[in-house]
Amino acid sequence: MPKVTKKTLNCRGRLVNLADGPTPDTSIMGILNLTPDSFYEHSRMKPEKVADAAIQMIREGARFIDIGGYSTRPGAADISPAEEADRVLPAIEAILTALPDALISVDTFRASVARQAVEAGAVMVNDVAGGTLDPDMFATVTQLGVPYVLMHMRGTPQTMQSYTAYQDLVPEVIDEIGQQYARLQQLGHKDIILDPGFGFAKTPAQNFELLEKLDAFRVFDAPVLVGLSRKSTIWRTLGITAAEALNGTTVLNTIAVLKQADIIRVHDVREAAEVILLKKNLKKIQTGYCVI
């Protein structure tokens, strides 16, 4: 497979090198949910706490802060674009007031919310639907000129778990995400990040297969994002709850980092940063210059 060469993102005029920063080689995206029904209760953020939470995440090593106002857990209730924007926009303002240089990603599949968020100061759009749920999304992010996370999903957040039938999982996911990738490229969009969509129209066994074969996504010249933090693949497999899934998350994040994921999206930034920094020292040993 071709090795990914693209490691830089143009975040509204700021050139961000994913190979550098507080956690070298793999960047961390910290999750802030502004929803009352996110699957992980402790990630549900009250508006007045958002700025403090973002400050803490950046101190612990987060490169990006991902803000979401629409719960995408299986079976989550649908809300209007206006309600989603009402949750997201004040949070962006609060974070940028406290941290003017923060790199904020907006987690939305709606073009109108993406546009408002970028106009408010977000520098990235993270679309769980990969452009399949809003026909205006690709044209919007291309016009806005911001990095775009293209994730693989089938159906909607309400129906996705009924679309887990694959004849050959990885080639089919690559084909489907590849079609969207090609469409976006044809529009002239430059900064595309690929997310295989762990947990979205995937069974736990399929999620493990995707992680094992993560290298297959290097067929694209694009950074790869992995989002496994506290997902049901972990806690259902272990017979625990999402609140108890930090250790399992760390294990799978370690595998993702060893497989050279460019970004990991997490609830627990400090633990993720420790994984990356320890892996950095493993790399130093392999190249013969580790300081003990």
The DSSP bridge partners found for residue 32 are 67
Contact between 134 and 110 (Cβ < 8 Å) = yes
3-state secondary structure of 23: coil
Rounded to whole angstroms, how far apart are CA atoms 64 and 12? Answer: 14
Active site residue 231: yes
Provide the strand spans (E) within 90-205. Answer: 104-107, 124-127, 148-151, 192-195
From the list 110, 202, 265, 279, the catalytic residue is 265
Pairing between strand 27-33 and 263-266? parallel
Active site residue 154: no
Provide the strand spans (E) within 108-232. Answer: 124-127, 148-151, 192-195, 225-226
Burial degree of 106 (CB within 10 A; 0-12, 13-18, 19+): buried
Long-range pairs, 242-245, Cβ under 8 A, ≥24 = 242/39, 242/40, 242/41, 243/40, 243/41, 243/42
Closest by CA to 152, choosing from 96, 199, 205, 213, is 199
From the list 231, 236, 259, 284, the catalytic residue is 231
Residues belonging to the active site: 231, 265
